[in-house]
């Protein structure tokens, strides 16, 4: 159980730019255990999606992985060429995107698309693939009678279920779900997350869940990694990080999230002043220091690394 399916070490992704390079991901290391749901949380521009794209080998040029290693079990995958990677992408690692309409082909029935994916990755006959596709639809709660329906005939939540069925159809070991429920209503979001959780538990598949919503993290993940400006700010078991957050940014994120259970009209929400820095104007030292209420001289001068593999903040340097 504690074996890891994915290991990422010192990942650094850069985009060449007129005036040098923009560092989108900087020195990010983590691992995903088998059967685990790891959450990536942070605000726009923190590098959540970029990390996912790096793992699955889909960073848009001119960006590239400059440094670091990505291991899928005992195979190093960050240096594979396009051909070799197609054996992994969709087969061993698959992806669920935010907008189901962009991942489904509007001109083909969902059954067709499922069969195609299954036959692409698994050595099965047409009939066997169809049987599997039907079973897949049933698993995600879609009536197999709608096998020949087109994507536009489904609602947003149903489409996302189809996408999940597609992602699971080749029986992958790791699923990267990038904001899978952001476009959905809350009630549908709850169903889709529940479904994703259940199916992954049943198959002992691991999930990297990328979201900006601390609530979704709390309800879905086992461990969580908080990203800020391309670096890991904090990582740990979800329970621990949410109840005893250490990094001032994590604390701020949690405190500024309104709660349906607390507060009233007179409540002033906690606010983190300022905004995430742009990649071409990263502050020196700790990237969070201009917004941090605990910033000391050291934070301006020196960049903190992840201490005890938990939190990247000088506040905890002497503990």
Q: Which residues bind another protein (CB under 8 A)?
A: 43-44, 156, 185-187, 189-190, 212-219, 242-243, 252-254, 256-265, 267-273, 275-276
- The CB density around residue 15, as the number of other CB atoms within 10 Å, is 18
* Residue 224: count of CB within 10 angstroms of its CB: 26
When the beta carbons of 44 and 102 are compared against another protein, the nearer one is: 44
> Inter-axis angle of helices 156-168 and 186-203, to 10 degrees?
10
Q: In what order do the strands lie in the sheet with 64-72?
A: 20-33, 4-17, 64-72, 75-76
How near is the Cβ of 209 to another protein at its closest, in Å?
A: 12
Q: Which is nearer to another protein, 170 or 276 (CB)?
A: 276
Closest distance to another protein from the beta carbon of 37 (Å): 14
What is the distance between the alpha carbons of residues 86 and 20, in angstroms, rounded to a whole number?
32
Which is closer to another protein, CB of 267 or CB of 296?
267
Minimum separation from the CB atom of position 44 to another protein (A): 6
Residue whose token pair is 């952001």: 182
- Identity of the residue, 266 or 318, whose beta carbon is nearer to another protein in the bound complex: 266
> For the chain, how many residues are written?
319
Provide DSSP, 174-243: EEEEESTTTTS-HHHHHHHHHHHHHHHHHHT-EEEEEES-HHHHHHH-SEEEEEETTEEEEEEEHHHHHH
Looking at beta carbons only, is 118 or 272 nearer to another protein? 272
CA atoms within 13 A on the CB side of 265: 0
Closer residue to another protein in complex, CB, 2/271: 271
The minimum distance between CB 9 and another protein, in angstroms, equals: 29
CB of 271 to another protein, least distance (A): 4
For the CB of residue 185, give the shortest distance to another protein in the complex, in Å. 4
């Amino acid at each position: 159980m504690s074996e890891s399916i994915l290991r990422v070490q010192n990942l650094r992704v850069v985009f060449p730019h007129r005036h040098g390079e923009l560092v989108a991901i900087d020195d990010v290391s983590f691992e995903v255990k088998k059967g685990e749901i790891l959450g990536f949380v942070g605000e726009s521009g923190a590098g959540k999606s970029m990390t996912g794209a790096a793992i699955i080998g889909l960073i848009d040029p001119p960006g590239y992985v400059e440094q670091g290693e990505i291991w899928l079990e005992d195979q190093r995958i960050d240096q594979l060429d396009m051909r070799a990677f197609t054996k992994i992408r969709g087969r061993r690692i698959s992806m669920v995107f935010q907008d189901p309409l962009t991942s489904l082909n509007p001109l083909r029935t969902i059954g067709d698309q499922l069969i195609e994916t299954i036959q692409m990755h698994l050595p099965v006959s047409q009939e066997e693939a169809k049987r599997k596709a039907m079973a897949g639809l049933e698993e995600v709660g879609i009536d197999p009678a709608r096998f020949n329906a087109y994507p536009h005939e489904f609602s947003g939540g149903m489409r996302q279920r189809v996408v999940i069925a597609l992602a699971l159809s080749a029986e992958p070991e790791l699923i990267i779900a990038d904001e899978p429920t952001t476009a959905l209503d809350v009630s549908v979001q709850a169903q889709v997350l529940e479904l994703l959780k259940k199916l992954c538990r049943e198959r002992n598949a691991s999930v990297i869940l990328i979201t900006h919503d601390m609530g979704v993290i709390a309800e879905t993940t086992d461990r969580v990694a908080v990203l800020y400006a391309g670096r890991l700010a904090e990582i740990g078991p979800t329970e621990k990080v949410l109840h005893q957050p250490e990094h001032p940014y994590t604390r701020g994120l949690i405190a500024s999230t309104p709660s349906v259970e607390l507060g009233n009209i007179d409540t002033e929400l906690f606010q983190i002043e300022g905004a995430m820095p742009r990649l071409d104007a990263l502050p020196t030292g700790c990237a969070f220091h201009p917004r941090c209420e605990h910033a000391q001289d050291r934070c301006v001068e020196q960049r903190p690394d992840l201490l005890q593999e938990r939190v990247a903040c000088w506040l905890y340097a002497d503990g």
